[in-house]
Structure 1
């Protein structure tokens, strides 16, 4: 049964890593400039993938719990990004400077407030696949992997309880 948990965790981490590679393909090959919310989502894709890989090699429940946290925060960020894409352009502020400039020029809290308030560059949908934008795909992937990880944690804990009986 432990092999099954590791296999599912490895499969989920491959999906997360593939998503990151695809994001870099869109950025460097198709020359789509990522907005600050996209970059933050990439960080949570990476953290989630690392948590799942850690569970493959060291199967402890705290790796799944930390992965659930990263997936949940990533889904919240992606959900906010999807919400911003559906707002009318008039209700959003102007273009934001790059993420690295904001982090250097402003305190972290102010930078995060600027990023999450939304801007025209975050609301612009420049690429779709099967009628879903990049933020919608991110939200879908975060949500699906979150559900799988919750099931993994539940059945992993159930197996540990059954072993002690």
Structure 2
């Protein structure tokens, strides 16, 4: 088993991660369109992080890098994944607040994107709002941002494996 994992190329790891990104997006879209759960701004930012990781992994799959290239793609993939972990963690924190400490609901993300600079939108979304603190769905006692956090942790395996393999290749090991 270990020998098999060591033999996987950057393309294999990238395709595995890309497949997991697609699975995460399919679940998100099914919950939105089939179950009628509207995504809050933090949910949308988590989707952006999944899409960013998918873009990096797609490029890595097409390029199939070795050595330093694996380090670059692995690092970029981890940046996207860690961004998603941070947003999901923030979302979980907002959901854990007592009702009297939850921030009030702000304007919708579409409206903010139209009138505010990107930096201000990012700051407002990450500060959270009442709609982000609502728990609309639980599965096995875990809310959607909790499952998304778990998904990002699993997704981190692919870029981490590429990064480690790239470092070993550069060092000659």
Counterpart check, 1:63 vs 2:68: no
Answer yes or no: is the 8 Å Cα contact 1:89–1:120 preserved in 2: no
Give the alignment's TM-score, normalised by structure 1. Answer: 0.89
Counterpart check, 1:26 vs 2:31: yes
Q: Could you say which structure has the greater relative contact order, defined with CA pairs below 8 angstroms and 6 or more residues apart? A: 2
**What does 1:5-44 align with in structure 2 at a 5 Å threshold?**
5-44=10-49
**What does 1:82-97 align with in structure 2 at a 5 Å threshold?**
82-97=92-107
Moved more, 133-142 or 144-153: 144-153
| 1:112, distance to aligned residue in structure 2 (A) | 2.0
| 1:109, distance to aligned residue in structure 2 (A) | 2.6
Secondary structure of the residue that 1:97 maps to in structure 2? Answer: coil
Counterpart check, 1:119 vs 2:124: no
- Give the gaps of 5 or more residues in structure 1: none
- How big is each residue's C-alpha offset from its partner over 1:110-133, in whole Å with a ceiling of 9 and x where there is no partner? 222221122111011111222211
1:77 is matched with which residue?
A: 87
The alignment of Structure 1 onto Structure 2 pairs a total of residues equal to 163
Secondary structure of the residue that 2:155 maps to in structure 1? Answer: helix
Q: What is the distance in 1 between the residues matched to 2:118 and 2:59?
A: 29
Secondary structure of the residue that 2:172 maps to in structure 1? Answer: helix
